[in-house]
Amino acid sequence: MLKNSVADINCLQSNVNQLTLDLFEKEIRIIRFASNHSEARRNIMSKKFSGGCDHINTHSSSNPIDNHTCHCSVCKRVTGQPTTHVAFFNHGDLEVDNSEKMNKQPFNDQNPNGPLELCTCSECGTPLMLDDKLGRIRVIVPNIMGYEEGFPAPTYHAFYDPATGVPRPDDGREVYEGLRPEFVWPPEK
């Protein structure tokens, strides 16, 4: 009788041990999950701006250095839009994953030796950015380069040319015939 009880207790003890072990493992799995999750969150959070296509991601943790509505004829021709929301990033701030999958062509086909190159995805053709051969800036057109609608709104009108006959914008934002006068180009690399 006593012998049986001891055996029962031993058995019970080993069940409890197993249960504790199971719980412990479960807890470790939960901790691991939580830490992976928060790391994934951190990765997303650290990329303040993220865009591109299914094959190539472009991203920046820093704000654009210039953010304007462009009225120039090249943007009109390339995007087919009457005006184009254009954001300049410091060249080093806008990073590209899988850049080897990118095709590059002159942004302005009428000035093929100009510094800006239009980068597109070699798999799906999505425009990804304009890259500056001189290493000063990288340019994003948020609405056609995979950026979300929450992208900060352009702060002024650039390259407005009255000779085009387009009425001067009167939405309260400054209008310039070039970039805003206080804009300073980052140094060439």
Interface residues toward Zn ion, by CB under 5 A: 53, 55, 70, 72, 75, 121, 123-124, 126
Least spacing, CB of residue 71 vs Zn ion, in Å: 7
Residue closer to Zn ion (CB basis): 55 or 136? 55
- Measure the CA–CA gap between 68 and 180, rounded to whole angstroms: 9
Least spacing, CB of residue 117 vs Zn ion, in Å: 15
Q: State both tokens at 172.
A: 């309260």
Q: State both tokens at 9.
A: 């207790």
DSSP category for residue 72:
-
The count of other CB atoms within 10 Å of the CB of residue 91 is: 19
Residue closer to Zn ion (CB basis): 75 or 94? 75
Least spacing, CB of residue 123 vs Zn ion, in Å: 5
Helix (H, G, I), strand (E, B) or coil at 129: strand
Residue closer to Zn ion (CB basis): 41 or 77? 77
For residue 156, give the H/E element and its range.
Answer: strand 156-158
- Measure the CA–CA gap between 97 and 7, rounded to whole angstroms: 62
Least spacing, CB of residue 21 vs Zn ion, in Å: 48
Residue closer to Zn ion (CB basis): 14 or 99? 99
Least spacing, CB of residue 77 vs Zn ion, in Å: 9
Helix (H, G, I), strand (E, B) or coil at 87: strand
Residue closer to Zn ion (CB basis): 25 or 177? 177
- Measure the CA–CA gap between 176 and 156, rounded to whole angstroms: 8
Are 108 and 114 within 8 A, CB to CB? yes
